[in-house]
């Protein structure tokens, strides 16, 4: 297991790292990039969803290079491939890294200022590829009481697979844009306490982002929940 | 005026596949189709900006690329510097004595510029035909959340202001105000307004107090695997917010479906309004894949309808057998002959078996076919009339496109014959109607059928002997069809086409 945790907050270090890499010349092709304009570093232990119920705090792994094929079978083959240990169960810390092939990729805890999480901004600011890539994203929502008959509702650019508490609940395929509630799960139950949402988003080219929220039985956003990435403080 | 959506929708479902346009209609990312000097023009993506013209809106042919009429033969240096060398997805508008043609000049995504060309005529045969470089209008620098391609231009009919929307999937669809005198930005220092995301090929239209933003969602350029669809939101203000039918802002990816794949056409994009007046509105678009033409991308022009405050994509009439019912009278057009009840004559009463306790239903009665009753019909010309629809053979009309007879925006001319015969509905020299014993191909037997904005149809002969004005099939009283000038505010010339 190559996952490790850095005391240096990954998010805050993004621009710095890019600049250092550039300055040392170890990867001269990585340009100095401005910070992602729609992403900020988390500053609170929890973050409630926005007024429309969208989850705005995520742990996102730097992109993994893949073929970018978006058909059902190609997406399934891409997702089924093991890239790093416990990829379907891990809830990483901000700054932990994964060894994927020859690359060391870092998890970043980030808040989005919008309803959607702009993966292009995320990767571009890091000097990472944005086309033909796979993003892994994880978040956890803290629920004050068991909630039955809710649905996870997502949108993504482009194809994506989603898991709730380890169970796959949504798959959308093809070259598509992020449409609110584009993919909706069957009725699910949110357990009291922490529930883990995991996404794998594949982009072929151009912009890439995703959004996610829970809907109640009347299709209204579920709001009495909060994102808490970790159950303990460090 | 009553609207007739249920009947027409049901009719459309039963129609044969729609025809796309005739001639050289292969193109991608067409501009709005524009009418000028009695001809129709459209421009598209490609080297030098491909140009097309049509005398009637049905048969199209390609002319010399636009850039051949631009000094230097290519986008100006400022445009190339701001964007790139490509020429994509133009749009055009006529303001006063000028035509403003906007086009995308993309470089490496998302660095792109939208250039302006200014002309005085669209007719390449005119000695005045030339385009002047108006420079870049808007651009994206390759970093910002915008890709300045796919211009769409609108003149606000309420106050004469002019607006440009542009953008693609990379970042926002943006809006800037233009100067109707120059075609350039009115306030170049103003920050563009973000109005939508996740889309391209944006354009606005105005209708009944609402601004509608029509965009294209999905993916292009993948033939029959393209998911292009036209979607929309509306706003009371030109700057938005544009919200769809579910209350979702287009800035959050909202968009009510306007037109998607159907029939033999996969992927629909690049909406453009063609308002022909008299309650006839059409829209231009392209299909990513026309399965009847080997899956190439082609232009089409289709009816634009309105329902519950939203535009709806209509379909051009296609070959089939129909009841032609007057909206005014509720009676059906028929050839004036003695009708035979379906199943044959019988006496008055509730019907065989009714009230007698029979448990076995009588057998079905077959539909009436012309071979059952046509042998009693006169062989020569016969009048036409309106009558209650009784499913009889003289009330069933075959509507069939006629090859090489020309057409009008979106469709060829049709012949209208009694189903199973060559007896053809015809205009007479006194602007009345008759059913001729055979179809001759003459103008008085060729019919233009436009779907109106309420979903009903207007039927017009291509020509009326000894007349130069355009006349439409009209209903008088309960039983008299005739030809009159079309009056948009009346039901007299509105018809339903129902499957028998």
Section B443-459 average pLDDT:
97
Which of A172, A177, A203 is most worth mutating to test chain B (most B CB atoms within 10 A of its CB)?
A: A177
Give percent of chain B above pLDDT 90.
Answer: 87
Helix (H) or strand (E) holding B486: none
pLDDT band at B477 (very low <50, low <70, confident <90, very high): confident
Please give the pLDDT value at position B96.
97
End-to-end Cα separation, chain B, in angstroms: 25
Identify which of B314, B474, B259, B315 has the alpha carbon closest to the alpha carbon of residue B384. B474
Q: Give the minimum alpha-carbon distance from B170 to chain A in angstroms, rounded to a whole number.
A: 5
Section B84-89 average pLDDT:
96
A206 and B109 in contact by Cβ < 8 A? yes
Instruction: List Cβ neighbours of B343 (8 Å cut-off, separation of 6 or more).
Output: B365, B366, B368
Which residue positions in chain A have pLDDT lower than 50? Answer: 1-28, 233-234
Section B301-325 average pLDDT:
97
Please give the pLDDT value at position A30.
57
Per CB-CB distance under 8 Å, the chain A contacts of B217 are: 177, 179
Which residues of chain B from 104 to 133 reach within 8 Å of chain A, CB to CB?
Answer: 109
pLDDT in tens, A145-163: 999 999 999 999 999 999 9
Domains held by chain B: number: 2
Closest residue to A177, CB basis, from B143, B145, B253: B253
CA separation for the pair A160, A134 (Å, rounded): 9
The count of CB pairs under 8 A between chains A and B is 46
Establish if B255 touches chain A: CB-CB under 8 angstroms. Answer: yes
pLDDT value at B354 more than 70? no
User: In a 3-state reduction of DSSP, which class is residue B494?
Assistant: coil
B288 shares its domain with B384: no
Give percent of chain A above pLDDT 70.
Answer: 85
B171 and A175 in contact by Cβ < 8 A? no
Q: Give the minimum alpha-carbon distance from B495 to chain A in angstroms, rounded to a whole number.
A: 39
Instruction: List Cβ neighbours of A28 (8 Å cut-off, separation of 6 or more).
Output: A22
Q: Give the minimum alpha-carbon distance from A232 to chain B in angstroms, rounded to a whole number.
A: 34
Domain coordinates in residue numbering, chain A? 10-227
Please give the pLDDT value at position A27.
41
Section B209-231 average pLDDT:
95
pLDDT value at B273 more than 60? yes
Structure-block tokens of residue B246: 């579910």
Structure-block tokens of residue A132: 């033909």
Section B63-76 average pLDDT:
96
Please give the pLDDT value at position A10.
40
b (16+ CB within 10 A) / e for A157-171: bbbbbbbbeeeebbe
Per CB-CB distance under 8 Å, the chain A contacts of B248 are: 180
Please give the pLDDT value at position B121.
98
Please give the pLDDT value at position B122.
98
Q: What interface predicted TM-score (ipTM) does this complex get?
A: 0.76
What are the φ and ψ backbone dihedral angles of B434, each rounded to 5 degrees? -145, 165
Per CB-CB distance under 8 Å, the chain A contacts of B169 are: 157, 177, 206-207
CA separation for the pair B110, B91 (Å, rounded): 20
Section B73-98 average pLDDT:
96
CA separation for the pair B206, B309 (Å, rounded): 11
Alpha-carbon dihedral sign for residues B121, B124, B128, B130: positive
B296 shares its domain with B422: no
B444 shares its domain with B468: yes
B83 lies in a domain? yes
B227 and A176 in contact by Cβ < 8 A? yes
B373 shares its domain with B288: no
User: In a 3-state reduction of DSSP, which class is residue B78?
Assistant: helix
Q: Could you say which of B56, B150, B200, B323 is catalytic?
A: B200
Instruction: List Cβ neighbours of B296 (8 Å cut-off, separation of 6 or more).
Output: B26, B289, B290
B85 lies in a domain? yes
B359 lies in a domain? no
Q: Give the minimum alpha-carbon distance from A124 to chain B in angstroms, rounded to a whole number.
A: 9
Please give the pLDDT value at position B360.
84
Q: Give the minimum alpha-carbon distance from B319 to chain A in angstroms, rounded to a whole number.
A: 35
What would the 3-class secondary structure string for chain A be? CCCCCCCCCHHHHHHHHHHHHHHHCCCCCCCCCCCCCCEECCCCCCECCCCCCECCEEEEECCEECCCCCCHHHHHHHHHCCCCCCCCCCCCCCCCEEEECCEEEEEEEEEECCCCEEHHHHHHHCCCCCCCEEEEEEEEEEECCCEEEEEEEEEEECEEEEEECCEEEEEECCCCCCCCCCEECCCEEECCEEEEEEEEEEECCCCCEEEEEEECCCCCECCCCEECCCCCCC
pLDDT band at B351 (very low <50, low <70, confident <90, very high): low
Q: How far is CA B254 from CA A42, A182, B130, B232, in A?
A: 28, 10, 40, 8
Please give the pLDDT value at position A231.
66
Identify which of B400, B406, B403, B402 has the alpha carbon closest to the alpha carbon of residue B418. B400
B248 and A180 in contact by Cβ < 8 A? yes
Query: What CATH number did the domain enclosing B388 receive?
Result: 2.80.10.50
What are the φ and ψ backbone dihedral angles of A75, each rounded to 5 degrees? -65, -45
B357 lies in a domain? no
Structure-block tokens of residue B229: 């669809």
CA separation for the pair B75, B81 (Å, rounded): 10
Thinking of the domain A10-227, which architecture would CATH place it in? Answer: Sandwich (2.60)
B252 and A207 in contact by Cβ < 8 A? no
Identify which of A29, A42, A10 has the alpha carbon closest to the alpha carbon of residue A128. A29
B175 shares its domain with B271: yes
Instruction: List Cβ neighbours of B312 (8 Å cut-off, separation of 6 or more).
Output: B258, B304, B305, B306, B455
B137 shares its domain with B215: yes
Helix (H) or strand (E) holding B201: strand B200-207
CA separation for the pair B224, B214 (Å, rounded): 22
Q: How far is CA B322 from CA B69, B152, B416, in A?
A: 48, 38, 10
Closest residue to B169, CB basis, from A52, A182, A207: A207
B261 lies in a domain? yes
Instruction: List Cβ neighbours of B328 (8 Å cut-off, separation of 6 or more).
Output: B475, B490, B491, B492, B494
CA separation for the pair A87, A64 (Å, rounded): 13
B349 lies in a domain? no
Q: Give the minimum alpha-carbon distance from B398 to chain A in angstroms, rounded to a whole number.
A: 42
pLDDT value at B387 more than 70? yes
Has B29 been annotated as catalytic?
yes
Calculate Rg over the CA atoms of chain A. Answer: 17
pLDDT band at B252 (very low <50, low <70, confident <90, very high): confident
Residue range(s) defining the domain that contains residue B270: 20-313
Establish if B170 touches chain A: CB-CB under 8 angstroms. Answer: yes
Which of A74, A180, A205, A212 is most worth mutating to test chain B (most B CB atoms within 10 A of its CB)?
A: A180
Identify which of A135, A197, A129, A123 has the alpha carbon closest to the alpha carbon of residue A160. A135
Per CB-CB distance under 8 Å, the chain B contacts of A176 are: 218-219, 227
A115 and B252 in contact by Cβ < 8 A? yes
Query: What CATH number did the domain enclosing B267 receive?
Result: 2.115.10.20
B58 lies in a domain? yes
B379 shares its domain with B288: no
CA separation for the pair B199, B214 (Å, rounded): 9
Section B305-320 average pLDDT:
96
Closest residue to A174, CB basis, from B198, B217, B227: B227
Section B173-177 average pLDDT:
98
Please give the pLDDT value at position A19.
36
Establish if B222 touches chain A: CB-CB under 8 angstroms. Answer: yes
Has B133 been annotated as catalytic?
no
B217 and A207 in contact by Cβ < 8 A? no
B190 lies in a domain? yes
């Amino acid at each position: 297991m190559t996952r490790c945790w850095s005391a240096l907050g990954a998010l805050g270090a993004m621009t710095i790292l890019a600049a250092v890499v550039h300055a040392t010349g170890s990867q001269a092709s990585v340009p100095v990039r401005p910070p992602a304009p729609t992403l900020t570093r988390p500053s609170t232990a929890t973050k409630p969803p926005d007024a429309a119920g969208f989850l705005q705090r995520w742990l996102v792994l730097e992109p993994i290079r893949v073929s970018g094929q978006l058909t059902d079978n190609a997406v399934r083959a891409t997702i089924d491939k093991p890239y790093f240990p416990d990829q379907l169960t891990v809830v990483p810390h901000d700054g932990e890294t994964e060894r994927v092939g020859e690359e060391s990729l870092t998890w970043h805890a980030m808040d989005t200022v919008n309803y959607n999480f702009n993966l292009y901004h995320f990767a571009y600011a890091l000097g990472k590829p944005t086309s033909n890539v796979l993003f892994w994203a994880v978040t956890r929502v803290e629920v004050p009481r068991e909630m039955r008959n809710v649905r996870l509702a997502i949108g993504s650019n482009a194809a994506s697979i989603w898991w709730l508490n380890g169970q796959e609940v949504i798959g959308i395929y093809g070259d598509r844009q992020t449409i609110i509630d584009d993919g909706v799960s069957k009725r699910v139950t949110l357990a009291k306490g922490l529930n883990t949402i995991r996404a794998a988003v594949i982009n072929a080219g151009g912009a890439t982002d995703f959004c996610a929220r829970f809907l109640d039985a009347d299709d209204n956003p579920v709001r009495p929940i909060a994102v808490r990435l970790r159950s303990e403080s460090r | 005026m009553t609207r007739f959506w249920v009947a027409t929708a049901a009719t459309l479902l039963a129609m044969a596949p729609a025809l796309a346009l005739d001639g050289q209609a292969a193109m991608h990312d067409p501009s709005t189709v524009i009418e000028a000097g009695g001809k129709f023009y459209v421009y598209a993506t490609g080297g030098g900006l491909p140009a097309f013209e049509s005398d009637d809106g049905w048969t199209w042919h390609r002319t010399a690329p636009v850039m051949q009429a631009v000094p230097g033969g290519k986008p100006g240096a400022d445009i190339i510097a701001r964007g790139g060398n490509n020429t994509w997805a133009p749009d055009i508008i006529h303001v006063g004595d000028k035509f403003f043609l906007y086009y995308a000049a993309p470089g490496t995504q998302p660095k792109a510029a939208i250039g302006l060309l200014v002309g005085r005529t669209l007719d390449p045969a005119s000695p005045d035909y030339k385009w002047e470089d108006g420079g870049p209008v808007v651009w994206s620098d390759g970093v910002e959340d915008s890709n300045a391609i796919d211009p769409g231009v609108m003149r606000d009919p309420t106050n004469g202001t002019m607006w440009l929307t542009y953008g693609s999937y990379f970042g926002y669809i943006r809006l800037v105000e233009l100067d109707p005198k120059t075609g350039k930005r009115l306030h170049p220092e103003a920050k563009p307004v973000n109005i939508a995301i996740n889309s391209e090929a944006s354009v606005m239209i105005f209708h009944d107090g609402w601004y509608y933003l029509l965009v294209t969602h999905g993916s292009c350029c993948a033939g029959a695997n393209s998911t292009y669809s036209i979607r929309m939101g509306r706003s009371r203000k030109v700057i938005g917010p544009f919200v769809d039918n579910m209350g979702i802002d287009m800035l959050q990816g909202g968009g009510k479906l306007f037109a998607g794949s159907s029939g033999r056409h996969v992927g629909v994009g690049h909406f453009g309004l063609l308002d022909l007046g008299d309650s006839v509105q059409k829209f231009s678009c392209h299909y990513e894949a026309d399965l009847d033409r080997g899956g190439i991308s082609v232009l089409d022009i289709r009816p634009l309808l309105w329902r519950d405050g939203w535009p709806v994509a209509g379909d051009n009439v296609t070959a089939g057998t129909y009841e032609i019912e007057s909206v005014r009278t509720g009676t059906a057009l028929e050839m004036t002959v003695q009708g035979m009840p379906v199943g044959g004559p019988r006496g008055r009463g509730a019907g065989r078996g009714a009230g007698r306790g029979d448990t076995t239903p009588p057998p079905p009665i077959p539909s009436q076919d012309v071979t059952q009753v046509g042998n009693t019909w006169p062989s020569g010309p016969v009048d036409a009339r309106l009558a209650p629809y009784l499913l009889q053979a003289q009330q069933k009309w075959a509507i069939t496109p006629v090859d090489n007879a020309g057409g009008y925006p979106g469709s060829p001319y049709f012949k209208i014959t009694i189903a199973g015969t060559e007896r053809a509905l015809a205009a007479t020299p006194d602007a009345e109607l008759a059913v001729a014993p055979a179809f001759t191909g003459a103008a008085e037997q060729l019919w233009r059928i436009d779907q109106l904005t309420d979903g009903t149809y207007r039927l017009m002969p291509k020509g009326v002997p000894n007349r130069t004005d355009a006349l439409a099939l009209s209903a008088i009283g309960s039983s008299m069809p005739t030809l009159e000038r079309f009056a948009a505010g009346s039901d007299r010339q509105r018809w339903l086409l129902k499957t028998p």
